[in-house]
C-alpha cells in the first residue's frame, strides 16, 4: 500500500506550476541568446522583455525597473551591497540572506508580534545623518507576519533613507503595489510562487539604480552582467502571470489555515500559534508545541507522510533557536519547539485532516497525561 504524502512546506518552495513547466520547455526547445542580433537572438530578447513586463505587473512597477538575477538571495545582496549607502539598517527578523549580506548592519528591534518598532527606527535614523538604506521584509518566511511597509517606508524617506522590501514570501499570496508599499527596491523569487528555482528579480522603483555586483557584460542594462537565464525568466513570468490570476484562491487557503489552527488548539491546548494577533500571510502557521523539539515533530510527521519545516535555523548540521522567534522575545522552550506549516493553491481539506491526525497523535504520545491534566 502506497503511503499518503501531504506537502505543507510551500514557503520553502512551491510546486512548479504547469504554465511554468510549459514555458521553460518551450524556451529550451528554441534556445537563442538575448544579446545576439540574429533572428534567434531577437526572439529570445522579445521573450525577456515580455517577461520583464509581467514581473513588473506583479508589483505594479515599470518594466524597466526589473533586474533579473539568480534568485531572492542575489536580489537582496544587490539591494544592500549595491545601494551605495553608508549605513544599512535591517529588522531583527530578516531572512539570512539579508542578515549575512551585511553582518554589521544595524538591527531594528521588533515587538512581541514580530512587528518593527517604528519609533525605534525613527530614532536610529535621526541619531546618524549619514545616507542610509532600510531593509524590512514584507512578510516573514517563518511566521507569515506582515509588516506595515508603507509606514516603515514613510519613516525611512522622512529621514532621507532608501527603503528596500524583501517581498519574496508575499508575492503571489498578497496583492502587491510598489507605490502603496513605498519601496525603492523590491526583491522577488520565482520558486516561491510556482516558478523554477534559480531565477528572481530586484525591482528598482522610481529611478533608483543599484550599483552592479556582477560586471563584464551589458546585460540587464549594465546592472547585472551574465547571459540571461532565458528558460528561468520565461518560467518566472508564466508563474507570476498564473499567480496574479489566482490571488483570489488564497481566500480558500486562509480558511484552510484557520481551520487547521482552530482544530490544533482545540485538540492540544498546550499548543500556541505564533503571531496569531498580527496580520499574517493567509497560508502560514507557526505552531509551537512546548516540550517537543521542532526537529522531533518534523521527523515524526515525515514518518506519517506529512512534510513541514522547523521554526529553527539549520546550519552545518547544527540546529539552534530561530533568530526570528528569539527576536520576538519567545523563550527557548517555545522557539525550539515550533514548526512552520505553509499551504498553497492545491492544498485540500484532506491535507489538513492528514496533518491534524498525525500531529495530534504525536502530541498525545509525547505529552504525559498528568502534564496535560495540569495544563
Evaluated on CA atoms 94, 179, 131, 80, the torsion sign reads: positive
Q: What is the DSSP letter of 166?
A: E
Q: Please state, as a whole number, how many other Cβ atoms lie within 10 Å of the Cβ of residue 149.
A: 23
**Beta strands 284-288; 338-342: pairing state:** antiparallel
Q: Residue 62 to residues 30, 52, 188, 332: CA-CA distances in angstroms?
A: 28, 9, 15, 44
Evaluated on CA atoms 345, 346, 351, 353, the torsion sign reads: positive
Q: Judge contact between 237 and 51, C-beta under 8 A.
A: yes
Q: Judge contact between 210 and 78, C-beta under 8 A.
A: yes
| Active-site annotation, residues | 314
Evaluated on CA atoms 203, 207, 213, 215, the torsion sign reads: positive
Spatial distance between the Cα atoms of 324 and 342, rounded to a whole number of angstroms:
17
3-state SS track over 254-294:
HHHHHHHHHHHHHHCCCCEECCCCCCECCCEEEEECCCCCH
What string of DSSP letters covers 174-197? Answer: B---HHHHT-SEEEEEGGGTTS-S
Strand partners, 310: 339
Place of cell 519567545: 330
Spatial distance between the Cα atoms of 94 and 203, rounded to a whole number of angstroms:
18
Amino acid at each position: 500500500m502506497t503511503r499518503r504524502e501531504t506537502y505543507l512546506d510551500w514557503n520553502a518552495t512551491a510546486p512548479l506550476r504547469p504554465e511554468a513547466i510549459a514555458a521553460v520547455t518551450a524556451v529550451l526547445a528554441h534556445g537563442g541568446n538575448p544579446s545576439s542580433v540574429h533572428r534567434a537572438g531577437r526572439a529570445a530578447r522579445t521573450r525577456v522583455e515580455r517577461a520583464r513586463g509581467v514581473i513588473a505587473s506583479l508589483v505594479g512597477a515599470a518594466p524597466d525597473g526589473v533586474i533579473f538575477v539568480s534568485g531572492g538571495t542575489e536580489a537582496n545582496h544587490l539591494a544592500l551591497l549595491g545601494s551605495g549607502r553608508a549605513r544599512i539598517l535591517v529588522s531583527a527578523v530578516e531572512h539570512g540572506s539579508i542578515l549575512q549580506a551585511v553582518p554589521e548592519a544595524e538591527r531594528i528591534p521588533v515587538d512581541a508580534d514580530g512587528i518593527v518598532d517604528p519609533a525605534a527606527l525613527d530614532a536610529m535614523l535621526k541619531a546618524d545623518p549619514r545616507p542610509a538604506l532600510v531593509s524590512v521584509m514584507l512578510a516573514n518566511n517563518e511566521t507569515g507576519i506582515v509588516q506595515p511597509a508603507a509606514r516603515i517606508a514613510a519613516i525611512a524617506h522622512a529621514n532621507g533613507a532608501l527603503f528596500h522590501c524583501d517581498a519574496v514570501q508575499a508575492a503571489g499570496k498578497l496583492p502587491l503595489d510598489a507605490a502603496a508599499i513605498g519601496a525603492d527596491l523590491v526583491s522577488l523569487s520565482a520558486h516561491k510562487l510556482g516558478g523554477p528555482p534559480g531565477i528572481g528579480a530586484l525591482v528598482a522603483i522610481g529611478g533608483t539604480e543599484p550599483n552592479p555586483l556582477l560586471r563584464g557584460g551589458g546585460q540587464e542594462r549594465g546592472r547585472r552582467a551574465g547571459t540571461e537565464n532565458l528558460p528561468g525568466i520565461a518560467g518566472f513570468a508564466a508563474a507570476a502571470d498564473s499567480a496574479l490570476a489566482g490571488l483570489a484562491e488564497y481566500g480558500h487557503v486562509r480558511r484552510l489555515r484557520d481551520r487547521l489552527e482552530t482544530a490544533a488548539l482545540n485538540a492540544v491546548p498546550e499548543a500556541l500559534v505564533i503571531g496569531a494577533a498580527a496580520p499574517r500571510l493567509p497560508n502560514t502557521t507557526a505552531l509551537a508545541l512546548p516540550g517537543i523539539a521542532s526537529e522531533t515533530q518534523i521527523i515524526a510527521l515525515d514518518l506519517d507522510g506529512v512534510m513541514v519545516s522547523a521554526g529553527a535555523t539549520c546550519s552545518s548540521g547544527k540546529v539552534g533557536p530561530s533568530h526570528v522567534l528569539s527576536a520576538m522575545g519567545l523563550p527557548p522552550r517555545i522557539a525550539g519547539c515550533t514548526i512552520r506549516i505553509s499551504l498553497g493553491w492545491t492544498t485540500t481539506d484532506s491535507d489538513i485532516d492528514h496533518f491534524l491526525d498525525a500531529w495530534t497523535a504525536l502530541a498525545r504520545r509525547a505529552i504525559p497525561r498528568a502534564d496535560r491534566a495540569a495544563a
